Structure 1
């Protein structure tokens, strides 16, 4: 492992009381999960994700959208947490306060042992009622696709944030507070292009936190932010080893 950790980051790691982390699709790439906008395969090659992940598309063809998410759920079911997920779960156990914010919907952070994850875009493993917007734990198995809500009879949908929908208020509010109050803010595996999550790094830097971007390629970031061009798992494991060396 040859990821170089700047001295200023090592110092920040050793003194931080509150570390906040924002993760994106790059964190789950090593688990074999394609990013949302990567080319579709097989039966789904003819569709653009942006054309399926909307309430309008669901109203027009709920069966099609449900089956697309079924396919995506099958990919997630085969995936396992990678070194990045594991390193973040371990880091959380070693600091006074740790806030993990994710744009991912795959639940791999929780599988790796992370708790109280702020899911900005929902979770593909949960299902909710399209009409009532409440999470549904179980329903009557029939031939209906999508299945129907046991409360109101309306169609069920994945509990993810679609284009044109607002992020969960409790999650984005808590993420904003973490950005304001943290000492160190890590942005990992995300392009920094999707708002409002993209603003969190800037907010943290404006409030005195050291901002760090971990990404294979450089992104547009506020002045003073450290950029580490590396694989997420490699870089996060190097951070752990630098702050809490083994032996």
Structure 2
């Protein structure tokens, strides 16, 4: 190989090395930018989601005590999204029972016999109707079993029609996506060690002479 060819090879190797370093340097910003674009696109394309909450309270009668009302409130909260309840609520809500089961969540309080029935929908009025319909269905179930349970199930407050969506806005989604993309890019740099380090390691360990080579060296 001539001197000119050797110089050209060295320049090519140096250019490739700088290119690899540049690519590694821009990995995190590129991943963050990709996350911003993905998050912002998701926030723009996804329909806004609204949430409405209706509250149901379990009141003890003369045949029961407050402790019994607490336990029954927990039980009613567990069955709030069962087919027996949402089946009665689907007509008033104007949506199928499957939509109610997927979009309604019931949460009980640990220190009060109260159930929060929260519904989510892409329409604010529909979310309020779904929450109120499930709450009224619970009240009806409680009325049917009042003689055996000794408690009354009442709707404490109706769901108010929400004015603002609970889903993240496009700027917030873009910010979250950028943070996630930058984090993933940084993890990729940490997990993937440089290749020259692995080659140096193999050369270093491969250069250790074996027993036969050591004996020949002694002779």
Q: TM-score, normalised by structure 2?
A: 0.23
> Larger helix proportion, structure 1 or 2?
2
Which of 1 and 2 has higher RCO (CA within 8 Å, sep 6+)? 2
